[in-house]
Amino acid sequence: MSEPLRAGKTTPSPLWLWLLLGVGWLTYWRAAGTFFAQDDFVWFLRAQSGPSIPWGVPRCLSSGLYFKLLYDVVGFNPVAFHGFNLALHLATGLILYWLLAGRVGPFLAAAAAGLFLSSPAFFEALHWVSAITDLLCGFFLALTMLTMVGRGGSLAVGTGATEWRPWVALLPYLMALGSKETAVGAAPVFAWVAWREGGRFRALSASLFLALAFVAVIPLMSARAPTDPYAFHLESVLANLPAYLSAAALGGLGVDVTSSADWPAVAWVRVAGTVGLVLWLAALWRRGSAGAWFGAAWFLALIAPVLFIDRFYFYYLYCALPGLVASLAMMVGQRMGSRTTAWIPAAGLALVLAQATAIELRWRATLPQAPLPRDFVLRRSLIARNALADLVNQRERLTPRIIMVSDQPLASSQGGVITNEPREYQPNRYWDDNVRAAIARGDAFKLVAPQVDSVAFVRWVITSDSSHAIVRYGIDGHLRVMDFSTYAAPESLPGGEALAVLLARANTLLQRRLFPAAAKELESAYRLAPDHPDILINLGSTYAQLGDTARAIEVFTYLVKLAPTDLEALFNLGSLEWYTGRSAEARAHWARLDSLAPGSPLARAARTMLGR
């Protein structure tokens, strides 16, 4: 078995370096046009107001120094931030090529580095600025390895020829730990390399790598609740390891997966990952060189810190993937020996093109349920861009407290568990959650409107909110700022006869949960049409929401006399009677409901309340 990572005399060709730069740039150049989103705004706020970098805390370099320095230099410029991140990614790929070129030849090294640079698993990492944690960590880990073994280091036992390298490598490793805690996984690998380098103080240098990792992980040792997505669960390994392996090799097929968090639950992903793991280990056992085993150890060591948590993201592969591609390159290189065949660059080029195509398709994919990108980072960055652009144009209307209200219709205009079942409308799950997450629950607003102190997301506006600016937002993030009077009495209403106008106003007010104002409109409509079923059902439900149960029962009783077969009236009247202690009357009305429509959702809900 050959020495792990033993280098030959081949000098990396500048041509391959330029080609790799082109591959990385052409694959991810679109990332420069992506806006900020989510945690980005949290780190910007800290960079803007924080007096200094919180040295010694987790991610002080990536979430602290990076945002502060770059923000001070380029300001709120997404192109500059994404450009820096892409340059960092390219540098990591070139280091990987430099490490492998002298050991497996330029063809295989370029193929491995090209696969890394064009990996679809890094789509989120290159499009989301906050993923700088993984990009910086991966870069400094690659730099640590390059410092330790160089292009020509042999790692031969006891040579002592380069015993200074592990000591110098401690600095980039410390910076990797300051970028993301995932770097602790590399400590055993670096400690082993430091020991192999030999020298009089090899035990001490190896121990220092382990000590630095231990110190870095201390702040993370606090107990977490079992329901915390970042809590450790041993059983998570069974799902995560196959999922990460399949993401590393087949991440491009995830274009139809709305979120990478859903990836481990896909059946074929688990099967493909398990088969791939078995085949990889079998190949390593049968003909893997020590270098191939070293790459496998790197992959498993760097993926280990995230295998035990329930949270799954593709970009968690960033630091580990170089080990996988290096392991495969080492195995192919050992099998080929000194022979150079045309299929190696051809196969590498085909795989790189396939990955780049998958990335382009993912960038273009949209949700079938909404006119938004399928990828959650692209989706939320678009929402944040729209929201901030609209907010800047309406900044003068803002107050210190903002009330955010969705444009999304409510599940029922009457609503409530007391009066009736929700109607057929199904809320869009990509609406409110995405807007809240995209603007970091309002932190983004504080960056462009310093007068804003707090932002609250509510289902409806109450009286105490009437002095604050009210912001209605759409599914794509576009928003409108208004005061309470404008919100409660919208300018645009249907024309025509008075009854239609009153009903339209009442419906709008009910959707916004402005029940007192809605009751006034419905009372006016009732005077015009006292036998109108829709007016009565809405008026009764509104009285119930206002707590006026007696008037609500009176209205529903009248409606049941007018329309004895109205299912909703029977259910609502029975519900109010049940909750006010008139159980005999409730049972009678629900019995009639059950005889008219025994299979309806309202009848089932009534039987549930009755306990049968």
Whether 12 and 106 have beta carbons less than 8 Å apart is answered as yes
Strand partners, 266: none
Is there a domain that residue 5 lies in? no
Question: Is pLDDT above 50 for 161?
Answer: no
Is there a domain that residue 8 lies in? no
Rounded Cα gap, residues 321 and 308, in angstroms: 18
Whether 573 and 557 have beta carbons less than 8 Å apart is answered as yes
Choosing from 463, 488, 513, the residue where a domain stops is 488
Whether 107 and 348 have beta carbons less than 8 Å apart is answered as yes
Q: What is the mean pLDDT of residues 459-466?
A: 75
Q: Which residue has the tokens 């429509």?
A: 597
Per-residue pLDDT, 552:
87
* Interacting residues of 496 by C-beta distance below 8 A, sequence separation 6+: none
Provide, rounded to the nearest whole percent, the portion of the chain with pLDDT above 70.
Answer: 84
Least confident residue range of 202-216, 287-301, 505-519: 505-519
What digits encode the pLDDT tens for the residues 544-553?
A: 877 788 888 8
The answer on 525 and 484 residing in a single domain is no
Is there a domain that residue 371 lies in? no
The answer on 484 and 502 residing in a single domain is no
* Interacting residues of 302 by C-beta distance below 8 A, sequence separation 6+: 141, 182, 185, 186, 319, 320, 323
Is there a domain that residue 201 lies in? yes
Whether 264 and 240 have beta carbons less than 8 Å apart is answered as yes
Closest alpha carbon to 448 in 403, 390, 401: 390
Is there a domain that residue 107 lies in? yes
Tokens of 608: 């549930």
The answer on 483 and 503 residing in a single domain is no
Tokens of 366: 């949209």
Rounded Cα gap, residues 163 and 195, in angstroms: 9
* Interacting residues of 571 by C-beta distance below 8 A, sequence separation 6+: 420, 421, 589, 590, 593, 602, 605, 606
Closest alpha carbon to 183 in 65, 303, 85: 303
The answer on 314 and 428 residing in a single domain is no
The answer on 298 and 179 residing in a single domain is yes
Q: What is the mean pLDDT of residues 520-527?
A: 86
Burial of 474 per CB tally in 10 Å (0-12, 13-18, 19+) = middle
Is there a domain that residue 349 lies in? yes
The answer on 173 and 249 residing in a single domain is yes
Is there a domain that residue 2 lies in? no
How high does pLDDT run on average in the chain? Answer: 82
Per-residue pLDDT, 379:
92
Least confident residue range of 1-5, 73-77, 122-126, 379-383: 1-5
Q: What is the mean pLDDT of residues 188-201?
A: 82
Q: Residue 371 CB: number of other CB atoms within 10 A?
A: 9
Is there a domain that residue 267 lies in? yes
Q: What is the mean pLDDT of residues 161-172?
A: 80
Whether 131 and 376 have beta carbons less than 8 Å apart is answered as no
The answer on 170 and 25 residing in a single domain is yes
Closest alpha carbon to 35 in 476, 499, 595, 502: 476
pTM above 0.95, yes or no: no
Q: What is the mean pLDDT of residues 214-231?
A: 64
Cα angle 328, 329, 332 (rounded to 5 degrees) comes to 85
What digits encode the pLDDT tens for the residues 238-249?
A: 888 888 888 888
Closest alpha carbon to 473 in 507, 425, 439: 439
The full length of the chain comes to 612
Which residue type occupies 273? G
Least confident residue range of 97-111, 317-331, 512-526: 512-526
Rounded Cα gap, residues 530 and 610, in angstroms: 33
What digits encode the pLDDT tens for the residues 395-422?
A: 888 899 999 988 776 544 343 333 333 3
Residue 64 DSSP one-character state: I
Choosing from 438, 470, 488, the residue where a domain stops is 488
* Interacting residues of 448 by C-beta distance below 8 A, sequence separation 6+: 388, 391, 392, 395
Whether 472 and 482 have beta carbons less than 8 Å apart is answered as yes
Question: Is pLDDT above 50 for 61?
Answer: yes
Rounded Cα gap, residues 502 and 508, in angstroms: 10
Least confident residue range of 41-55, 67-81, 157-171, 281-295: 157-171
Per-residue pLDDT, 60:
84
Least confident residue range of 60-74, 308-322, 330-344: 330-344
Q: b vs e for 60-71, b when ≥16 Cβ sit within 10 Å of the residue's Cβ?
A: bbbbbbbbbebb
Which residue type occupies 449? A
Q: What is the mean pLDDT of residues 272-291?
A: 87
Question: Is pLDDT above 60 for 577?
Answer: yes
The answer on 573 and 468 residing in a single domain is no
Strand 469-473 versus strand 454-458 pairing type = unpaired
Question: Is pLDDT above 60 for 70?
Answer: yes
Q: What is the mean pLDDT of residues 173-189?
A: 92
Rounded Cα gap, residues 98 and 205, in angstroms: 25
Whether 440 and 457 have beta carbons less than 8 Å apart is answered as no
The answer on 329 and 381 residing in a single domain is no
Rounded Cα gap, residues 85 and 92, in angstroms: 11
What digits encode the pLDDT tens for the residues 269-279?
A: 889 989 998 99
Q: Residue 454 in 3-state DSSP?
A: strand
Task: Determine the structural domain holding residue 556 and report its residue range.
Answer: 498-610
* Count: domains in the chain: 3
Least confident residue range of 39-43, 149-153, 231-235: 149-153
Q: Which one of 129-143, 333-347, 549-563, 594-608 scores highest in mean pLDDT?
A: 129-143
Q: Which one of 10-14, 69-73, 369-373 scores highest in mean pLDDT?
A: 69-73
The answer on 417 and 360 residing in a single domain is no
Which residue type occupies 32? A
Choosing from 488, 520, 552, the residue where a domain stops is 488
Question: Is pLDDT above 70 for 172?
Answer: yes
Per-residue pLDDT, 496:
47
Whether 335 and 283 have beta carbons less than 8 Å apart is answered as no
The answer on 471 and 337 residing in a single domain is no
Closest alpha carbon to 123 in 370, 439, 361, 477: 361
Segment (H or E) for 469: strand 469-473
Per-residue pLDDT, 420:
34
Which CATH number do you get for residue 563? 1.25.40.10
The answer on 353 and 299 residing in a single domain is yes
Segment (H or E) for 481: strand 479-482
**Backbone phi, then psi, for 403, in 5-degree steps?**
-105, 115
Q: What is the mean pLDDT of residues 436-444?
A: 91
